Amino acid sequence: MVKNLLIIGSTGTLGNRVLEVIRNFKDRFNVVGLGARQDSEQLALQVMEFRPKYVLLTENNITSSLRDAVISAGSRLFSGIQGLREIASVDGVDLIVIVMGGALGIYPLWEAIKYNRDVAIANKESIVIMGEIVRKLADGKGVNLIPIDSEPGAIFQCFNALNDRRELDYIVLTASGGPFRRLDYNQLVNVTPEEAVSHPVWRMGKRISVDSATLMNKGLEVIELHKFFDVPYEKIQVLVHPQSIIHGAIGLSDASLVALMSNPDMKIPILYALSYPERIETSWKRLNLIELKELTFEAPDTDHFPALRIAIEAGKRGLSYPAVLNASDEVAVELFLNRDIRFTDIPILVEEVLSKHSPVTINSVEEAMEIDNWAREETYKIFNKVMSR
């Protein structure tokens, strides 16, 4: 059966990997929708290639090439935040693939579940902010939420080994350790944005690359796993595993450990998320354990990389703290990329914003966005007062 996919964030690093997988399996997947924020030119090329029924550009900079492509393909064009919400409820979609970056990912996720659409999700921001409520809504409606990212995706697959949730003892979340694993503090102070975005294993967008280098990404993933799988923080163990071969594991009540391994290639978790619950045969390179020679593991160094500790603490404090963590970190990463702050200032700034926050319960997307805005403004305020040079 051909699956009809609506892809939001198709112009991003991950979005392009998703399209690459689809090109490999044209007999299995059909693109019915494509969406991006502002990259009108790239989106126009994608529309020309896939001729989707629905097209979204959330910023209103629709170029003539996109307009021409939309007319030629006979697509319906959505725009603005309203469009981001509306497109998730269109007909004829089997799976909504949310690979956009940023907290606004909560809009299509929420609408998709409301309209009983299965979702493959990489947008960790939305799960970090509202994961518990999203999970409850999805479970209540019988909607499948399938993680795309390699680590949550691996744990999702390891869960298949459970006959009963009570058999789950703990989760192992692996981290590559990023490009600066071996640097001391004096070296970390001076790393550049260019160095921070060149990840040793994965090719990713700028924010997630910097987050991987600070280990904030792993902290966000710990919160994501807690909310997505409803597992206590104490039962989530983070391990630095530089080879990135074991993507996730679960410890079972009889002392067994079930792990998911593969070569570090995003195409593999993407294909599983798109084809779930089926597994599609591929000719992709198999894992050769003899070639690998060694797999190493070490505890993360939270003295050099305090973002991991800060994120887990924010997760444990709960309420609106994870939303503040996410928004403040996004702004701090932007400031670092613009060379306004140093790499080591990122966790300091985020921790300062968290300390100023009066937590509230988040019950709706609107409330989540209010907190998100507060955290962004507060981050700029503290930066202007204390850190701007």
Ligand X SMILES: NC(=O)c1ccc[n+]([C@@H]2O[C@H](COP(=O)([O-])OP(=O)(O)OC[C@H]3O[C@@H](n4cnc5c(N)ncnc54)[C@H](OP(=O)(O)O)[C@@H]3O)[C@@H](O)[C@H]2O)c1
Q: In which element (H, E) is residue 32 found? A: strand 29-36
Q: Do residues 173 and 153 touch, judged by C-beta distance below 8 A?
A: no
Binding flag, residue 84, ligand X (CB under 6 A): yes
Binding flag, residue 204, ligand X (CB under 6 A): yes
Binding flag, residue 270, ligand X (CB under 6 A): no
Stretch that binds ligand X, among 116-124, 184-192, 272-280, 344-352 (CB under 6 A): 116-124
Angle at 211 between CA 206 and CA 217, to 5 degrees: 125
Stretch that binds ligand X, among 122-130, 233-241, 305-313, 337-345 (CB under 6 A): 122-130
Shortest CB 141 distance to ligand X, Å: 23
Q: How many Cβ atoms sit within 10 Å of the Cβ of residue 139?
A: 12
The closest alpha carbon to 315, from 304, 329, 303, 301, belongs to: 329
Q: Which two three-digit tokens encode residue 279?
A: 């597994």
Binding flag, residue 155, ligand X (CB under 6 A): no
Shortest-Cβ-distance residue relative to ligand X: 12
Of 124 and 376, nearer to ligand X (C-beta) is 124
| Beta carbons within 8 Å of 181's beta carbon, 6+ residues apart | 240, 242, 301
CA distances from 62 to 23, 56, 81, 90, 202 (A): 26, 10, 15, 21, 31
Strands 168-175 and 246-252: antiparallel
Q: Binding string, 10-49, against ligand X, x = CB under 6 A? A: -xxxxx-------------------xxxxx----------
Binding flag, residue 344, ligand X (CB under 6 A): no
Of 158 and 382, nearer to ligand X (C-beta) is 158
Shortest CB 36 distance to ligand X, Å: 3
Stretch that binds ligand X, among 21-29, 201-209, 252-260, 309-317 (CB under 6 A): 201-209
Of 168 and 240, nearer to ligand X (C-beta) is 240
Q: Do residues 21 and 7 touch, judged by C-beta distance below 8 A?
A: no
Q: Which two three-digit tokens encode residue 259?
A: 């792990």
Stretch that binds ligand X, among 168-176, 183-191, 199-207, 378-386 (CB under 6 A): 199-207
List the one residue from 3, 6, 7, 9 that touches ligand X (CB under 6 A): 9
List the one residue from 22, 29, 96, 123 that touches ligand X (CB under 6 A): 123
Give the span between the Cα atoms of 178 and 215, in whole angstroms.
Answer: 7
Shortest CB 270 distance to ligand X, Å: 9
Shortest CB 314 distance to ligand X, Å: 17
Give the span between the Cα atoms of 376 and 330, in whole angstroms.
Answer: 8
Give the span between the Cα atoms of 269 and 153, in whole angstroms.
Answer: 6
List the one residue from 19, 55, 96, 104 that touches ligand X (CB under 6 A): 104
How many residues bind ligand X (CB under 6 A)? The answer is 29
Give the span between the Cα atoms of 77 and 94, in whole angstroms.
Answer: 20
Stretch that binds ligand X, among 62-70, 95-103, 275-283, 314-322 (CB under 6 A): 95-103
Give the span between the Cα atoms of 46 and 350, in whole angstroms.
Answer: 37
Shortest CB 319 distance to ligand X, Å: 22
CA distances from 182 to 185, 201, 243, 305 (A): 10, 15, 15, 11
Binding flag, residue 122, ligand X (CB under 6 A): yes
Of 80 and 232, nearer to ligand X (C-beta) is 80
Which residues of this protein are in contact with ligand X, per CB under 6 A?
Answer: 8-9, 11-15, 35-39, 58, 84, 99-102, 104, 122-125, 149, 202, 204-205, 208, 266
